[in-house]
């Protein structure tokens, strides 16, 4: 199974030997072998005791809890991590060295810019009717890459990343139907169907990066491009930067192929939310799309960890296939 999504009201979880039993009032109990579970996504009201969490963690199953209303992450439970503490010591030393962090940050954002460029070029081939905003975005992003290669400090890299994001979203807006009211990135809460999907997708992808970093023996809180911030897993943010444009493209495909429609969303006090049927379609599509990115995050986390142990560290640029 790999991933178990629990997104119904009043579910109850209990252990039955080496099985996780899911109980709900209007259905027969279902059992899932713990050995089959790599991750569990819980949304809303799910009842369980500490024994269930302990068994999942001991099995190496990661758990992410999402709020019932906005599907924001409220908690993560991780299983045992890598036992080599030297990896974290080396990570802490590297994080305190701006000169070493700079090329890593450049590599991350170069990967993100190239991924944005590829997405807009792919879209241009399919949507020549909106050529100008897509072409303008491509030209702007392509022009940022030489400047990024010579960026003298992290502040400059951050500014170039912001310029690339602005150009990317300006092109992306043209791809979605006017009825979706997508005018650019907004969140907390998302105010249109596209942003509702982007927010949920980024939340799930961030969880994958936290899990990968933890499994490789790294501290997810301490990144190299993103500065430390209270309660933020900055390394996980770093790892998914080159992957964000790929998720943007997948969200576009959900609406282009009409797997999601305006009717799959509800509006509540200014927030746009996926309804139950919409979430089910989203989860199913995400599980089909994300496996190569999971492998990519795991591989690159170990590559970074191994680099910290005596070899030149490297962070990913986001390969074409993510595999």
* Residue 59: per-residue pLDDT: 84
Where do the domains of the chain lie, and which CATH numbers do they carry?
Answer: 2-77 (3.100.10.20), 85-308 (1.20.120.920)
Instruction: Give the mean pLDDT of 216-238.
Output: 90
**Eight-class DSSP state of 68:** T
Question: pLDDT above 70 covers what percent of the chain?
Answer: 95
Looking at 130-144, 224-238, 239-253, which range is the least confident one?
224-238
Cβ partners under 8 Å of residue 89, min gap 6: none
Looking at 14-23, 124-133, 185-194, 199-208, which range is the least confident one?
14-23
* Residue 120: per-residue pLDDT: 97
Cβ partners under 8 Å of residue 289, min gap 6: 250
* Residue 75: per-residue pLDDT: 82
Helix residue ranges, H only, the chain: 50-59, 85-95, 98-126, 131-149, 154-173, 193-215, 234-240, 244-256, 276-289, 291-308
137 pLDDT more than 60: yes
Q: How does 252-291 read in b/e, with b if 16+ C-beta sit within 10 Å?
A: bebbbeeebeeebbeeeeeebbbeeebbebbbebbeebbe
More confident residue, 311 or 36: 36
Which pTM value belongs to this model?
0.89
Cβ partners under 8 Å of residue 121, min gap 6: 138
Question: Across the chain, what does the average pLDDT equal?
Answer: 89
Which residues sit opposite 111 in a β-bridge? none
Q: In this structure, what are the phi and psi dihedrals at residue 65, rounded to the nearest 5 degrees? A: -110, 130
Angle between helices 244-256 and 154-173 (to 10 degrees): 10
Instruction: Give the mean pLDDT of 236-248.
Output: 96
């Amino acid at each position: 199974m790999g991933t178990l999504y629990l997104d119904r009201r009043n579910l109850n979880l209990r252990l039955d030997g080496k099985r996780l039993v899911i109980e709900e009032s209007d259905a027969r109990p279902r059992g899932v072998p713990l050995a089959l579970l790599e991750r569990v996504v819980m949304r809303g009201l799910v009842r369980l005791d500490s024994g269930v969490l302990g068994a999942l963690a001991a099995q190496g199953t990661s758990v992410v809890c999402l709020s019932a209303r906005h599907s924001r992450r409220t908690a993560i439970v991780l299983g045992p991590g890598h036992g080599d503490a030297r990896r974290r010591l080396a990570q802490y030393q590297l994080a305190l060295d701006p000169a070493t962090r700079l090329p890593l940050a450049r590599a991350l954002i170069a990967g993100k810019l190239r991924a944005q460029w590829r997405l807009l070029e792919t879209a241009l081939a399919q949507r020549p009717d909106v050529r100008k905003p897509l072409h303008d975005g491509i030209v702007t992003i392509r022009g940022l890459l030489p400047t990024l290669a010579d960026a003298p400090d992290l502040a400059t890299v951050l500014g170039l990343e912001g310029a690339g994001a602005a150009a990317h979203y300006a092109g992306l807006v043209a791809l979605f139907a006017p009825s979706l009211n997508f005018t650019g990135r907004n969140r907390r809460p998302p105010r249109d169907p596209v942003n509702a999907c982007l927010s949920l997708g980024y939340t799930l992808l961030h969880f994958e990066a936290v899990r990968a970093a933890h499994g490789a023996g790294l501290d997810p809180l301490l990144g190299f491009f993103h500065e430390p911030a209270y309660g933020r897993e900055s390394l996980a943010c770093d790892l998914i930067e080159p992957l964000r444009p790929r998720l943007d493209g997948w969200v576009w495909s959900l609406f282009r192929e009409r797997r999601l429609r305006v009717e799959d969303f509800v509006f509540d006090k200014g927030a746009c939310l996926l309804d139950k049927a919409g979430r089910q379609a989203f989860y199913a599509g995400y599980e089909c799309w994300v496996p190569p990115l999971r492998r990519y995050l795991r591989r690159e986390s170990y590559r970074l960890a191994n680099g910290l142990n005596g070899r030149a560290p490297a962070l990913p640029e986001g390969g074409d296939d993510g595999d």
